[in-house]
Structure 1
Amino acid sequence: MKQAEDYSHRFRLAYGMAALAVGALAAGWAIVFAFMQAWSLVVMDGAVVMVAFISFVLAHRHQFSAALLFSQASFFIITIVFCLLFDVPSAAAPRVSHLFLLVLALLGYINYRRENSGLQLGIVGLCLAAFVIFTSTNAVLPFAEPIADHFRLYGSWLNTIIAVIMLCGGVYVMQREFARDLDQAREIKAALTNREFELFYQPQVNETGRLTGAEALLRWKRPGGTYTSPADFIPIAEQAGLMPRIGGWVLTQACKTLAAWQQEEATRGLKLAVNVSVDQFMEADFVDAVLNRIRTLEINPTLLKLELTESMMATDVDAIVGKMRALRAAGITISLDDFGTGYSSLSHLRQLPIHEIKIDRSFVQDAPGNKRNRLLLKSIFDIANMLELSVVAEGIETQEQLLLLKSFGCTAFQGFHFGRPLPLAEFQAQWTTDTSSPLAETA
């Protein structure tokens, strides 16, 4: 979304300016402490300047998540050291530097909402725990070098004001993020109502290049005629709990396409793969909903393929396996998507009632020039053969990648090398005009 991109750009710009402001403030204090010949404090402020500069450079290079993690971890350590060595509380002046730990925790939570990271959440927890300790105790190191009380008294006012201003800024940013997410969630709901979603179809071919099926991929056609990628709106839809509704629409449209294909000689045997989100799959009536669509539209269930991600393994495995077995018993193909990037283990592979695994594009793209990736790919095919699982390789963009995968015994392929996702009419016009020979000459 253009609006989301503009917001992200403004957020990065604001973060970069904040990093420069912190660096400038620390540089000013370093000059003051240098006049006082407090060289330990000069070194501390020098470290702050260095962290601020590196964070600014990372943000400027669009490595925003790295900049946030680096600055939070670094400032956490610097704040802890400063509290233990220099900001020693006394009857005349309280300790206030630990207030910046709340700022770091808030910044960490904002970033955690952007990218769910265990490391990010750990930093938030450490900041809050350290804040509680410094608030409740007079923790100090035995070799501390306390700043003079008269100077700390002045600094306590200034640091408290700065910390409060930064907290207010963080709360404002959070409010803007919540408002942005709510606006985008409303847009997505309106898109469902206004029928702005559309399915594109990307071909899946065999080793001869003949079309064997397709994957249905969701696109959002905006009123101006431009398309929005799922990567730009699916995360918001997941947070808003809209994936079961969106997924239900996708499944219905895909089943209607399959029903239409069954009526034509050129498309009668084509399989259609549909992605299913965790939230949609875990709906209590998901299996019944799938089977009802199959019965209503009189679809051959063996031509429907449901692609499930490995992230499902982080939830209720027993419930997932039970639903998979029910779907498999009905004749539906179960595929484990993005294999190698999630939670699956050999134990899970042995336990799951799946028909195939779909190798993630990250393994395919670097394989020709990366020995380790080639060995991993070969191992995946060996394991799949032992478990009697089919393998689909996606993300194929070059002839070199295709030949390598064929040498490993791969017989099912998907990627730009064969064709990009297309609207249904264009897909059928390009791929189903000739049934007497392979439909793709690139293989």
Structure 2
Amino acid sequence: MEDLWKTAEKENCLQELELTCLEAVMEQWSSQIGKGKLFVNFSAQSLVQLQQSQGTASLLQLMHKHRINPKHVGLDVSGYTRVHKLDALLDALSPLRTAGVTVALDNFSASEKSMNAWSVLLPNMVKMAPRWTHNIATESEQSRMVRSLVRIARTQNALLVAKSVETGEELLTMKALEVDIAQGFFLGSPSLEPARSLNLRARDALGSGENLSPPTTSAMPMTSAEDIPPELAHRYSLLN
């Protein structure tokens, strides 16, 4: 799959490939599942190109075609650090956000360019790159960085997501650091049917899984409903 994406980028047809995949996913999701939240990946480069050609409102037309409410769609934006003009990406995202699409920065690395993108784009969610999850239980400097990202997320009124959680230790550490949401194989394997509750091993690791908000995607909120800060309550509602 990675080779296909690299070839499409080399042949200058990445936008066409992403649109084709997006429509296929929407068609399958609306016909087989149609509940909860559909998160899809789309590159910043293609979003900007689409805005310059026909406008990103065309993505809303795709959702309408497949009878999907934009409020039920999350857009995981990748490659945002390679966009030379973030204002152009901001313009591309504007009609989608106005319609209710949740915007997430995918694979966030905490680099200077990533931090700048966060401050300009003000996403609803920030999904940390897997490197911030692995070894988090033993690397103190890594924990300090994640704690800093948690503080920034609170300031920016965004949800912070830990990706690639693969052990109980990683899950517990991210919870202790007050990261909002976790996703990864420890919480469940990929499936056509989204999980509606914590699996046994995640429940055992957390020790209080019964009180956690039921997920609507493979990502699991790590904060009980009564403990959600008021300023983040509407952000959590984006998952419903």
State the partner residue of 1:240.
Answer: 11
Distance in 2 (CA, whole Å) between partners of 1:313 and 1:242 is 17
Q: Give identity over the alignment, percent.
A: 23
- Alpha-carbon deviation of 1:261? 5.3
- Partner residue of 1:413? 182
Which residue of the other structure, out of 7, 12, 24, is the alignment partner of 1:253? 24
The CA distance in 1 between the partners of 2:55 and 2:20, in whole Å, is 13
1:179-198 alignment to 2 at 5 Å? none
| In 1: Cα distance, 2:147 partner to 2:79 partner | 20
- The 1:236/1:343 distance shift into structure 2, 3 A limit, reads farther
| CA displacement at 1:394 relative to structure 2 | 0.5
For residue 247 of structure 1, what is the amino acid of its counterpart? E
Q: CA deviation at 1:411?
A: 3.1
Query: What is the CA-CA distance between 1:312 and the residue it aligns to?
Result: 4.4
Unaligned segments of structure 1, at least 5 residues: 1-229
After superposition, where does 1:362-373 map in structure 2 within 5 Å? 362-373=131-142
Aligned residue for 2:118?
A: 349
Distance in 1 (alpha carbons) for counterparts of 2:150 and 2:70: 26
Partner of 2:98: 329
- The Cα shift of 1:309 comes to 2.1
Report if aligned partners of 2:14, 2:46 keep a CA contact under 8 Å in 1: yes
Q: Is the 8 A contact 1:355 1:390 kept in 2?
A: yes
Does the aligned pair in 2 maintain the 1:314–1:343 contact within 8 Å? no
Q: State the match for 1:272 in structure 2.
A: 38
Pairing partner for 1:442 from 201, 223, 230: 201
Q: Indicate conservation of the 8 Å contact 2:41/2:77, yes or no.
A: yes
Alignment of 1:211-250 (within 5 A): 230-250=1-21
3-state SS of paired residue (2:161): strand
Q: Does the Cα contact within 8 Å between 1:324 and 1:354 map onto a contact in 2?
A: no
The gaps in structure 2 that reach 5 residues or longer are 203-240
SS class of match (2:201): coil
Q: Bigger radius of gyration, 1 or 2?
A: 1
1:119-158 equivalence runs, <5 A: none
1:359 aligned to 125, 128, 140, which one? Answer: 128
Q: State the Cα distance separating 1:246 from its structure 2 match.
A: 1.3
Deviation at 1:262, TM superposition (A): 6.0
Match of 1:344, SS? helix
Task: Flag as ranges the 4+ runs of structure 1 deviating above 3 A.
Answer: 310-314, 341-348
Quick one: distance in 2 between partners of 1:391 and 1:299?
25
Contact 2:57 / 2:96 at 8 angstroms: preserved in 1? Answer: no
Counterpart of 1:272, as a letter, is L
Normalized against structure 1, the TM-score is what? 0.42
1:121 match: none
C-alpha spacing 1:376/1:324, structure 2 compared with 1 (3 Å): same
Of 161, 164, 181, 1:392 maps to: 161
Aligned to 2:179, what secondary structure does the other structure show? coil
Give how far 1:377 is off: 0.8
Distance 1:328 1:235, change over 3 A: same
Cα displacement string for residues 23-71 of structure 1 (whole angstroms, at most 9, x for unaligned residues): xxxxxxxxxxxxxxxxxxxxxxxxxxxxxxxxxxxxxxxxxxxxxxxxx
Does residue 1:289 correspond to 2:58, yes or no? yes
Q: Secondary structure at the match of 2:160?
A: strand
Structure 1 stretch 410-419 or stretch 340-349: which is displaced more?
340-349
**SS of structure 1 residue aligned to 2:200:** coil
- For 1:327 and 1:363, how far apart are their aligned partners in 2? 29
Cα distance in 2, alignment partners of residues 405 and 286 from structure 1: 38
Q: Which residue identity does 1:405 align to in structure 2?
A: M
Q: Which has the higher helix share?
A: 1
- Give the equivalent residue in structure 1 for 2:77: 308
**C-alpha deviation, 1:381, in angstroms:** 0.9
